[in-house]
Structure 1
Amino acid sequence: MFRRRALRRRLAAAGAPSVPDDQLRGLARALDAGPGGTACVPGAALRLPAARAFLHPELRDLAELRRLPLCSDHRCCNPYHFSRLCKPETPPPPYSRFVMDDVKPKEHGESTEDARRTDHERLPTGSLATDGEERPSWESEWCRLAYWELARRVGRQHGVRVRAVDVFGGDAAPGRHGLCLDALHARNDAPQPEQVRKTRAKIGLGVTLSLEGDGVWLYNRSQAPVFVSSPALDAAAARALLVWRVPPAHCLCVFDPGAPPAPAALALPHLGPVDPRSVRISFAKGWGPKYSRRDVTACPCWLEVLLAPPS
């Protein structure tokens, strides 16, 4: 439980103005609820100091934050209702210019430097989500989700019609809409490798995928990074087929309808063609030249998002 006196000192150190007691109580309750809390806390002047004090000490400007779909009050200052924009490095790191065969695989874990930055790496990709399941009609769905563990798909495709969908590891909280991975396993008796069980335990609140006016956004709400590959991320990513590292409490636009079209599909013998409207998300574990996992199918828990074709 946050004590109001300590909370007031912490906010003041982050540059907050004087905070009324009722507002301070509301913020304390929101902080106690943590990332899973849904209550908004009015107080726009506290938004930047609260984000600095509890999530992003180096945050410089409100323009670096984006409101999560669950937030319903434009004046809200609950730091857990905002996500920090995930920006690429400029210029890209040297390893992203190497082809895969020229790079030796590295250990599973990331370095301290890796943990502080957004990583993106070159890799091949293709569409695997159908897995023999034919669903030609999209009706009113804007995307479909397919959950995988290593090279085995778990459950059927999950069609999404609501604007924001959660993919999470535990039981659904009230008001959440989405895909509960534990529920998929409740209907599946297949044995799980140890690496799958350990990784699934880290997913927690998972990710939120949101269809918004400027594209499809991914919000990482878990306590571990997620890794994303999308041919539609931007022109550079589309040409190079990069993997992006999205740290906890960060967000990334994974599909921009206003961006230049993705290049024509590539034919990859071991995976099939690249799907320009397919996004892959691996929970906690990365893949690519820097990792021993060269392909997403070696990741313990991952998600494929199939975006509906343009109307």
Structure 2
Amino acid sequence: MLSFGSGTTVVKRLLAVGKCDLNAQDEKFAEKSIRFLVNKKKPKLTEDVEAAVMQQTSKTKCIVIYWSDWKNHVRSKLDIGGINGSYNNGSTDIASHKLHPHVWFCRLWRWPDLTSQVELRAIPSCECPFDQDKDQICVQPYHYSRVEAPVLPPVLVPKVTGENLPSRDELPPVNLEGGTIPNATYSDGLETPQFGLPPDTPPPGYMSEDGESTEQDCSMNSPASIHYASDSDSIPHGTVSTFLDAQPVAYCEPPFWCSISYYEMNQRVGETFHASQPSLTVDGFTDPSNSERFCLGLLSNIHRVTQIELTRRHIGKGVRLYYIGGEVFAECLSESSIFVQSPNCNRRYGWHPATVVKIPPGCNLKIFNNQEFAALLSQSVNQGFEAVYQLTKMCTIRMSFVKGWGAEYRRQTVTSTPCWIELHLNGPLQWLDKVLTQMGSPRSPCSSMS
């Protein structure tokens, strides 16, 4: 049995072993949050907190708090308007590591660089993990493990010789705008969506808010059984005369994991944003952009029309993008939905490659997975240069704010929407470049970045 001094002594002791280099404001919030846990009316809870933190052990019971209590605590200490709110000046700086108690305490006592709950997994013995949608949540930091990015195996690429390879002009353009673009819509991430598809198109799968697929998705459209209908299926392959010894081409993580360009209709506006942080927001505010935030409010466009102005006013908190454990997530922070076209996500759930998915406020969606891409790249190498080149479309993600596009909407192309962004995933694109170079380029240079 541990012995305790006064509550103040316990709080100071727990604060002293924190891993974070806190500024004055965060230190004040940390102290009040520890007091929130160390409740003199619940000595056993206090005992478990100190045992877990001081001994760095998972062998304690769950340290359980109520979600509603934590929300009230955050509102009172940070003066925000709601659990998805922000400081009264419109800033989004408090983000999710304070809004989610398990993230905050894991950040405080274990991983100071933790940014989001998508980086965490509960250990098997935890009875109240954050992902079970209960009224209570465990905040014992040692009841969670951190998601690590899997090591991607190198792709074995044969060196191709032969002259009858397609030239750059013979390769198809990489775009997803041709034909009817289907839509997937859901209200709260739990109910069956309605899809606006041509009669001959099989119904695509469905992604719920918590990342699980529907029963139909699991039984009929498992990723292993899905044929990805890329444009290369209809392209005649060039003659290959010889395959030399295969060489491994490894994946390397670039310093900037993605590049983001902002568009209004068909016009690019402003400079490209290069993302180096694993978590960032793209919002409509007028604060200066930094490494964790791309603010669209200050960007000017002399050709901006009224419709675009009105749409920009509704972007608000926009979208939060996470790159965690080799996976990319998009979370809608805005009060208006966002619309995402991700071929990688669409393939995973059996959707048509060009499907545009509506993400309502407060919902999130996994929009890219490095391991799935690696497996597809390895398969495509055996199908030839064009099949690998076609994978460049999977490394581009388009996302519109407020207004959607596709079969169910008046706008049929993303360039018809008032405000949208395009993400280029630099790691996969650079990997493709290396593979294409190893395979042997066409007569005219052509790479994934061209």
> What is the CA-CA distance between 1:155 and the residue it aligns to?
1.4
> What is the CA-CA distance between 1:173 and the residue it aligns to?
8.5
> What is the CA-CA distance between 1:274 and the residue it aligns to?
6.5
Looking at secondary structure, tell me which structure has more helix per residue: 2
By relative contact order (CA 8 Å, sep 6+), the higher-ranking structure is: 1
Q: Which residue of 2 aligns with 1:145?
A: 260
2:98 to 17, 28, 40: 40
Q: 1:98 to 1:161 in 2, by over 3 A?
A: farther
Q: Are 2:370 and 1:257 aligned?
A: yes
Distance 2:68 2:273 in 1: 44
AA paired with 2:98?
A: C
> What is the CA-CA distance between 1:182 and the residue it aligns to?
1.6
Q: Are 2:301 and 1:200 aligned?
A: no
Task: Give the unaligned 5+ runs of structure 1.
Answer: 1-15, 45-60, 66-72, 76-84, 101-117, 119-123, 127-137, 268-272
Q: Which residue of 2 aligns with 1:57?
A: none
Secondary structure of 1:309's counterpart equals helix
Contact 2:269 2:299 in 1 (8 A): yes
Distance 1:64 1:241 in 2: 32
2:407 to 273, 289, 296: 289
Q: Which residue of 2 aligns with 1:228?
A: 340
Using the size of structure 2 for normalisation, the TM-score is: 0.42
Q: Are 2:354 and 1:244 aligned?
A: no
Contact 1:166 1:176 in 2 (8 A): no
AA paired with 2:279?
A: A
Q: Which residue of 1 aligns with 2:393?
A: 275
Q: 1:204 to 1:173 in 2, by over 3 A?
A: farther
Q: 1:182 to 1:27 in 2, by over 3 A?
A: closer
Contact 1:146 1:153 in 2 (8 A): yes
Q: 1:95 to 1:239 in 2, by over 3 A?
A: closer
Measured on the aligned residues, the alpha-carbon RMSD in Å equals 4.1
CA-to-aligned-CA distance 1:163-185 (integer Å, 9 cap, x gap): 11211111338987221112222
Secondary structure of 1:261's counterpart equals helix
Secondary structure of 1:184's counterpart equals coil
Distance 1:64 1:242 in 2: 29
Distance 2:199 2:79 in 1: 44
Contact 2:317 2:333 in 1 (8 A): yes
> What is the CA-CA distance between 1:225 and the residue it aligns to?
0.2
Structure 2 matches for 1:1-311, cutoff 5 A?
A: 24-30=72-78, 32-34=80-82, 35-37=85-87, 38=94, 40=98, 62-63=130-131, 87=189, 93=194, 95-96=196-197, 98=199, 140-172=255-287, 177-185=292-300, 188=301, 190-235=302-347, 236=349, 239-259=352-372, 261=376, 264=387, 275-310=393-428, 311=431
- Tell me the number of residue pairs that the alignment of Structure 1 and Structure 2 aligns: 221
Distance 2:303 2:255 in 1: 35
Distance 2:318 2:358 in 1: 14
